[in-house]
Amino acid sequence: MSTATMADVIDVESAEVSSAKLPVVHQRTAIATTTPADLLRIAVEKGADLTQLSTLMDLQDRWEANEARKAFVSAMAAFKCEPLEIFKKKTVAFTTRDGDTTSYKHARLSDITDAIAPAMARHGLSFDWDIHQGSGSITVDCIVTHQLGHSKKVTMSGAPDASGKKNAIQQAGSTITYLQRYTLLAATGMSTKDEDDDGAGGADDGDDKSGKEVAGKAASSNQAATQFYDQKKFDANKDTWREMVKSGRKTTAGMIQFIESKGAKLTVDQQNTIDSWGHEHD
């Protein structure tokens, strides 16, 4: 009869423990919660060489960048759910070189920033601009950044705004403000809208229904009388106009003003086509 010694028992127990596998659930949990930072810490504790540490540090950088990117996308999605409205409050009217008078409305830079800055901050987002000038052109970069470091940049360029009687500094300032407005709108995916004013807000309480009907008919009559730019002429000239915008000789707003100064308003689709020329390199 063989007799087991204490050493035999210890050896058998050690072998069983070393060969035993963790439950599947435990293994998955360990993999899910281990980050490159954990691996880097373990490597340092075990005295890994510089090559191994460098590889783990690169892995950590990529992991952090990916986490920052996902946080940025999530924050932007939450920001887009904010009930924001940016109205065109600024009216611009001027006399063209041909002696005609034209006017339009747009949202000022302050209208845009006042509307979106607080909402962006609530989701860990911020924005700023970099401005570059040279060779007769001004370039503005709008950078939207998340608090974890991921950012998105939109760039637009244009020539100094020589319309009116502006001096050199005013010409540069006008173009910079214009580019800041449009790069910020593009970077955040926002748009402006006309103020919803059908006349009721400015009417006296005593106005009767017949007066409103007359006003409505007059508005309809004015709309019907509006002459829009002929689409065939637009298609024939748009390549030339596009080159003028791309070369910086005119901003998109300046091009729209120039065309409409001839007496016919552009349709919404035509205006959107011209505006898209300024975003082709976004």
On average, the pLDDT of the chain sits at 75
Q: Is the pLDDT of residue 72 over 60?
A: yes
Q: Is the pLDDT of residue 199 over 60?
A: no
Run of H or E residues at 151: strand 151-158
Q: pLDDT class for 134, splitting at 50, 70, 90?
A: confident
Mean pLDDT of 85-111: 77
Please name which of 186, 184, 193 lies closest in space to residue 84, comparing C-alpha atoms: 193
Read off the pLDDT of residues 32-62 as tens digits, 9 standing for 90 and up.
Answer: 567 777 776 777 777 777 787 788 788 878 8
Q: pLDDT class for 83, splitting at 50, 70, 90?
A: confident
Look at residue 208 in the predicted model and tell me its pLDDT: 42
Mean pLDDT of 101-117: 84
Please name which of 256, 234, 230, 261 lies closest in space to residue 245, comparing C-alpha atoms: 256
Q: β-pairing, 101-106 with 87-88?
A: unpaired
Please name which of 276, 213, 262, 220 lies closest in space to residue 100, comparing C-alpha atoms: 262
Q: Is the pLDDT of residue 268 over 80?
A: no
Q: Is the pLDDT of residue 130 over 90?
A: yes
Mean pLDDT of 131-155: 94
Look at residue 94 in the predicted model and tell me its pLDDT: 64
2: phi then psi, degrees, rounded to nearest 5: -90, 150
Mean pLDDT of 80-103: 77
Cβ–Cβ < 8 Å for 188, 127: yes
Q: Which single residue is written with the structure tokens 């439950």?
A: 23
Q: pLDDT class for 242, splitting at 50, 70, 90?
A: confident
Give DSSP secondary structure letters for 200-229.
Answer: GGGS-TT--HHHHHHHHHHHHHHHHHPPBP
Q: Which CATH architecture has domain 85-198?
A: 2-Layer Sandwich (3.30)
By CB neighbour count within 10 A (0-12 exposed, 13-18 middle, 19+ buried), where does 275 fall? middle
**Paired tokens of 50:** 């510089």
Q: Is the pLDDT of residue 24 over 80?
A: no
> How large a percentage of the chain has pLDDT more than 90?
27
Run of H or E residues at 125: strand 125-134
Mean pLDDT of 193-204: 46
- In this prediction the pTM is 0.53
Which position has the higher pLDDT, 17 or 139?
139
Q: Is the pLDDT of residue 196 over 50?
A: no
Alpha helices in the chain (DSSP H): 6-19, 24-33, 36-45, 50-80, 109-122, 168-188, 209-225, 231-246, 252-260, 268-277
**Paired tokens of 155:** 């760039």
Q: pLDDT class for 246, splitting at 50, 70, 90?
A: confident
The CA–CA distances, whole Å, from 159 to 28, 134, 165, 246 equal 59, 10, 16, 10
Q: Is the pLDDT of residue 27 over 60?
A: no
Look at residue 62 in the predicted model and tell me its pLDDT: 86
Annotated domain spans of the chain:
24-80, 85-198, 213-282
**Paired tokens of 28:** 């998955």
